[in-house]
Structure 1
Amino acid sequence: MVVWNFKSRLFSTFPSISLFWRRLLLVILLVVLSIISYPHSSFAQPSSKPVEIDLFVQGLSVRNPKVLLEQGLKPGTQTDITLRNQPEGKLNIKSVQQLPITISVPQPNGSVKELPDPKENFRMDILITLTGQANVQEQGLYLGKSRLKIGTPAEIEGFNYLTKATVIDVRS
């Protein structure tokens, strides 16, 4: 028994199906089968692991740095973090270290000495260590939808502060 006859009739009884429609039906069938049978890695849940992130805040203008360090950026509290203008949730503040702002002063004997900058009364540099959970994927560590890399611009926000920072270290 002939499946397709010369008039493009299926089993010689059904109406004619043109060659175009046969090929289109075959392509649609192959696409559906490939979607169903192809294993997707997007269904896998990413594993989560603890991570420490070091942020460097340079030139933060503040009238009273002690109040900010004692009330706002206090170790043990939480802060909101934004990476690449995408809010990524809350992280715990592990440590806060105020870095000295120094200038190079040439000495009479030709050597150079680092001394505190006398004109920087209302400016400070801070090193902040944050802890939290990050997703581990093939490309690296992700905090929410943003990849954690050195040099990533970040923004941290709390009750009495909002400042921009840069990621300088990521440890897992």
Structure 2
Amino acid sequence: MAILDRQGRLFGKVSILDIGAIAAILITVIGLFLLPGNNGNSIAQMLSADSKPVEVDMIVKGLSIIDPANVIKVGDKVSIIIRNQPREQVTIKKVEISIPKVLVAKTDGTTISVPDPRSIDTSQRDITIVLSGPARITDSGVVFGSEKVKIGTSIDIEGPKYIMRGSAMGVRY
């Protein structure tokens, strides 16, 4: 008996095309679950990662806003947008609003920091926000959705009355 017959069947029972199709499917499934993707994590790693409460310190520099205390409130639920992709809902845990400062030279050669008069006239404010929400903790850091958040990551938050762009200053978990 021949290994391959006229119809292309192995030992007269299984087609070589069927074996090729099954092998292609198996290789695809193995690649999806075991090999890392673009973000460095495989599906198996992402599914097994721990989800813990995470706090992200965010700063928004020079935001033009008339009444920030009544717009951005502690306890509000906002959407976090990382690299232009909406990710998770997070809670605003703390808000600090300040007027941008400038350095002014004194006559003795030292400098002092004073509120920028231009910022006062144009209603510009620096806002530090602490965001709190669940995220996956992996070996390479904190992951919201499928995006890593590290110090310096550009983050947008969107609430009912605003959308702000800032950057992460700190990540705690």
TM-score interval for Structure 1 and Structure 2 normalised by the shorter chain: 0.7 to 0.9
| 2:162 aligned with 1:161 | yes
Quickly say closer, same or farther: Cα 1:108–1:96, change in 2 above 3 A: same
Which residue pairs with 2:82 in the alignment?
83
Which residue pairs with 2:33 in the alignment?
40
List runs of 5+ in structure 1 lacking aligned partners: 10-14
Secondary structure of 2:109's counterpart equals: coil
Which residue pairs with 2:54 in the alignment?
51
Which residue pairs with 2:38 in the alignment?
none
Matches within 5 A, 1:114-125: 114-121=113-120, 122-125=123-126
Q: State the TM-score, normalized to the length of structure 2.
A: 0.75
Which residue pairs with 1:12 in the alignment?
none
For residues 105 and 40 of structure 1, the distance between their equivalents in structure 2, rounded to whole angstroms, comes to 58
For residues 81 and 132 of structure 1, the distance between their equivalents in structure 2, rounded to whole angstroms, comes to 10
Number of positions where the alignment pairs a residue of Structure 1 with one of Structure 2: 158
Quickly say closer, same or farther: Cα 1:86–1:118, change in 2 above 3 A: same
Deviation at 1:40, TM superposition (A): 3.0
Name the larger-Rg structure. Answer: 1
Quickly say closer, same or farther: Cα 1:17–1:140, change in 2 above 3 A: same
Superimposed CA distance per residue, residues 22-74 of structure 1 (whole angstroms, 9 cap, x where no aligned partner): 8766645544565678893525443211100111100000123xxx22x3211
List structure 1 segments (4+ residues) > 2 angstroms apart after TM superposition. Answer: 15-19, 22-47, 136-140
Deviation at 1:138, TM superposition (A): 4.1
Counterpart amino acid of residue 55 in structure 2: E
Check whether the contact 1:60–1:123 (CA below 8 A) recurs between aligned residues.
yes
List runs of 5+ in structure 2 lacking aligned partners: 35-42
Which residue pairs with 2:128 in the alignment?
127
Quickly say closer, same or farther: Cα 1:62–1:138, change in 2 above 3 A: same
Superimposed CA distance per residue, residues 109-145 of structure 1 (whole angstroms, 9 cap, x where no aligned partner): 1111111212211100011000000022343321112
Instruction: Give percent identity, aligned residues only.
Output: 29
For residues 108 and 63 of structure 2, the distance between their equivalents in structure 1, rounded to whole angstroms, comes to 35
For residues 37 and 166 of structure 1, the distance between their equivalents in structure 2, rounded to whole angstroms, comes to 37
For residues 165 and 106 of structure 2, the distance between their equivalents in structure 1, rounded to whole angstroms, comes to 36
Quickly say closer, same or farther: Cα 1:27–1:55, change in 2 above 3 A: same
